[in-house]
């Protein structure tokens, strides 16, 4: 499974609908001048895939909508098109489209054009092997520096989370309490 295409409209600095494709299943590099929207692009991807931007307040949603002199938008969307030929997303389709829309009052998810709940999306992503709370597939600016400066114990904690073993430690601790 890999991202084939990203479509953005009205999100932060992206006013007009823009499609970014094709992506390589291996490594992709995003380059551009300062302020050209690189960070906003990754924000858009995390907006769809991570659970960091849940329970948004009205102001938070407003900040995601494109605002420009005389041409502000009232709604936006980000759609990620996955190549699912390996069926890692447990849906019997070779291509899966996941879209999240945002307007001042609400934000919603669509799977292949069908309205779905946030819980359905999060469960689906989890079964596909995404870490929701710690999306290691997007390494944010400054993260590498902070990784090198971390204490060994903190780095170990992060590795446990990425490897997916921390959840077992938590459960073990819980079961020993009883």
- Site residues (CB under 6 A) for ligand ATP? 12-13, 32, 34-40, 63, 65-68
Show Cβ contacts of residue 19 under 8 Å, excluding neighbours closer than 6 positions: 5, 6, 7
| Cβ proximity to Mg ion, 38 vs 160, nearer residue | 38
Q: Which is nearer to ligand ATP, 63 or 156 (CB)?
A: 63
Query: What distance in Å separates the CA atoms of residue 60 and residue 166, rounded to the nearest whole number?
Result: 31
CA quadruple 119, 125, 127, 133: dihedral sign: negative
Give me the least distance between CB of 144 and Mg ion, in Å please.
14
| DSSP-derived secondary structure for 41-69 | HHHHHHHHH-GGG-S--HHHHHHHB---T
Nearer to ligand ATP, 32 or 90 (CB): 32
Minimum CB separation from ligand ATP for residue 76, in Å?
A: 9
Q: Which is nearer to ligand ATP, 13 or 131 (CB)?
A: 13
39 contributes a contact to Mg ion by CB under 5 A: yes
Which residues from 104-163 bind Mg ion, rule CB under 5 A? none
H helix runs in 16-142, sequence order: 38-49, 58-64, 118-127
By CB under 5 A, name the binding residues for Mg ion: 38-39
């Amino acid at each position: 499974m890999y991202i084939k295409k990203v479509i953005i409209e009205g999100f932060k600095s992206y006013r007009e609908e823009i499609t970014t494709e094709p992506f390589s299943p291996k490594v992709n590099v995003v380059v551009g001048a300062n302020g050209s929207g690189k960070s906003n692009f990754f924000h858009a991807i995390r907006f769809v895939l991570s659970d960091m931007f849940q329970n948004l307040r009205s102001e938070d949603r407003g900040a995601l909508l494109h605002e420009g002199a005389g041409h502000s938008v009232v709604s936006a969307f980000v759609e990620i098109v996955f190549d699912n030929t390996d069926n890692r997303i447990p849906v019997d389709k070779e291509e899966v489209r996941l879209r999240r829309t945002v307007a001042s009052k609400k934000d919603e998810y669509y799977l292949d054009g069908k309205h779905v709940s946030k819980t359905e999306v999060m469960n689906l992503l989890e079964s596909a092997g995404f870490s929701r709370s710690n999306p290691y597939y997007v390494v944010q600016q400054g993260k590498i520096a902070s990784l090198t400066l971390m204490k060994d114990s903190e780095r170990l904690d992060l590795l446990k989370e990425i490897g997916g073993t921390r959840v077992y430690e938590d459960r073990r601790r819980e079961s020993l309490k009883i």
